[in-house]
Amino acid sequence: MKNLLNLIFPPRCAVCGEVLTLEEQKGVLCKKCGEELPYFSENICPHCGGETNNAGFCEFCVKAYAFDSACAAFPYETVRDAIHLFKYDGDKRIGHGLGEVMAEYLLKYHEELLVKTDVMVSVPLHPKKEKYRGFNQTHILCEKISEKTGLIFEKQALGRKRETIAQSELNPEERKMNLRDAFIAKKDFAGKRILLVDDIFTTGTTCNECAKELYRAGAKEVMVFSLSAAGTE
């Protein structure tokens, strides 16, 4: 059955969409993309596109939020199709591949985060949404990152207190109201340095609210790491 499906829907590169060769099908990227991944490298802030020197958000952007630092592996456009296949079509193989390249990004550009982090936490979905989708996409990314880097992943560390409207349907002001006090820390994070992982960083409201809750639970430092950043809209 799987082979037949492969003929009709041959596995494609998660970044450029090229049909993968048999050899390439061991992963989710074509050879070319695997060799030169379009990471956000040094000198570009993933949020405003401004200049930075640390392969993360510039000082100006970080100041606008509660968390201490932030970085993203890819511009949203380059992984949009892959994210859709993963999140909405439930292709977990692509999720594993994306988790793998996130781990590689940390190893390549942010060894300091790997050294500093005590525990990795993911942005929670509302339980209803997770049930509907059958999985939490960020959990899958985190599990792969943990496997590749050795970071400890606390799966149930953050929860949602109440249901919220999809952020994409709201303007920035409404987004803030929608998520105010929506999250709850289920553990004591006293003195911990936390790597907070999400899939898409758009306005940053979700990560910001999660970070505030983690500080309430005692966190010493919250560092955001997302698969992609959509930049300023």
Which stretches of the chain bind Zn ion, using CB under 5 A? 13, 15-16, 18, 30, 33, 45, 47-48, 50, 58, 61
Distance CA 194, CA 222 (A): 5
SS3 string, 25-75, reads HHCCCCHHHHHCCCCCCCCCCCCCCCCCCCCCCCHHHHHCCCCCEEEEEEE
Phi, psi of 179 (to 5 degrees): -105, 0
| Least spacing, CB of residue 123 vs Zn ion, in Å | 20
The DSSP letter of residue 197 is E
Task: Give the strands of the sheet with 221-229, arranged side by side.
Answer: 69-75, 221-229, 193-201, 119-122
Least Å distance, CB 49 to Zn ion, is 7
- The smaller minimum CB distance to Zn ion, of residues 56 and 124, is found at 56
* 13 or 196: CB nearest Zn ion: 13
Task: Name the residue nearer to Zn ion (CB basis): 61 or 123.
Answer: 61
Contact between 27 and 35 (Cβ < 8 Å):
no
Tell me how far, at minimum, the Cβ of 18 lies from Zn ion, in Å: 5
Supply the minimum distance, in Å, between the C-beta of residue 229 and Zn ion. 10
Q: Smaller CB distance to Zn ion: residue 6 or 232?
A: 232
Task: Name the residue nearer to Zn ion (CB basis): 18 or 143.
Answer: 18
CB of 98 closer than 8 Å to CB of 227: yes
- Cβ 224 to Zn ion, closest distance in Å? 13
